[in-house]
Structure 1
Amino acid sequence: MFKTKLFEQWYDREMLPTCAVCQQSFEPEPGFYYGAMFVSYAFSVAITFVVGFVLFNFFNDPELWVYMITLLGVVGLVWPLMYRYSRAIFLHIFGGIRFDSKYAKE
């Protein structure tokens, strides 16, 4: 889906125009991936709840600045993952992609 692997370049946002195997277009319409920001937002909320729960329950309710620094650090570290997975999830849910078994072995 993307031109480079996740860890080859820190943050490469360029996507291939089509799938190399089945020729499925990765951008069904202009501006399609604006909706992927909602999937990314859901990831961020989930991370916030998990990290906040761990900090609150295991470290005796630290100060507000500890929460903020920790959450910003964790979300900043997983941001490239969230970017790529939110686009992939959004494409598969709303892009009209259906599984075709003839491409399964390629």
Structure 2
Amino acid sequence: MSKSLGISIAGARCPQCREGNLFSVSLLSYQKLSDVNKTCPVCGANFHPEPDFYYGAMYISYAFSVALVITSLTTINVLVSAPKLWMYLSMVVFLNALLLPAMLRYSKVLYLYGLSKLKYRGY
């Protein structure tokens, strides 16, 4: 039974077989956090189609950060009647530190799914 596209992206699975892990360590590990496996452990798909392929994922990571800043600033403006500068700064720093692992990983996942030539093959 094949996994859906959304579940495969959320689980950081191989775009070709949707079974193998893209990353060698879990999301909760801070060692080698965003190192992508060279190949899929299940189907052998190449996760590094060219040198420095994942540099483009920085743009997706930047978009995640901008969305996080806008969302947190808007939330503070709605919830607090007269917010201080330290509230904005501490909220942005805290949320970025908390969500950085997920933003780094999923920027690479979305970049690989969107721009690689790997297509799903149901085995």
TM over 0.5: yes
Contact 1:33–1:90 under 8 Å retained in 2: yes
1:10 equivalent to 2:41? Answer no
Q: Which residue of 2 aligns with 1:78?
A: 99
CA shift digits 1:19-58 (9 cap, x unpaired): 0112111111001111000000111111111111110011
Task: Please give the alpha-carbon distance, in whole angstroms, between the structure 2 residues aligned to 1:88 and 1:49.
Answer: 23
Q: Report % sequence identity.
A: 34
Q: Which residue of 1 aligns with 2:55?
A: 34
Closer/same/farther in 2, CA of residues 90 and 61 from structure 1, 3 Å limit: farther
Letter in 1 for 2:30: W
Q: Secondary structure at the match of 2:56?
A: helix
RMSD: 1.2
Unaligned runs of 5+ in 2: 1-21
Task: Please give the alpha-carbon distance, in whole angstroms, between the structure 2 residues aligned to 1:84 and 1:11.
Answer: 13
TM-score, with structure 1 as normaliser: 0.88
User: Which aligned runs of 4 or more in structure 1 are off by greater than 4 angstroms?
Assistant: none
Q: Which residue of 1 aligns with 2:87?
A: 66
Q: Which residue of 2 aligns with 1:48?
A: 69
Unaligned runs of 5+ in 1: none
TM-score, with structure 2 as normaliser: 0.77
Which structure has more helix as a fraction of its residues?
Answer: 1
Using the TM superposition, give the Cα deviation of residue 71 of structure 1 relative to its aligned residue in structure 2, in angstroms: 0.4
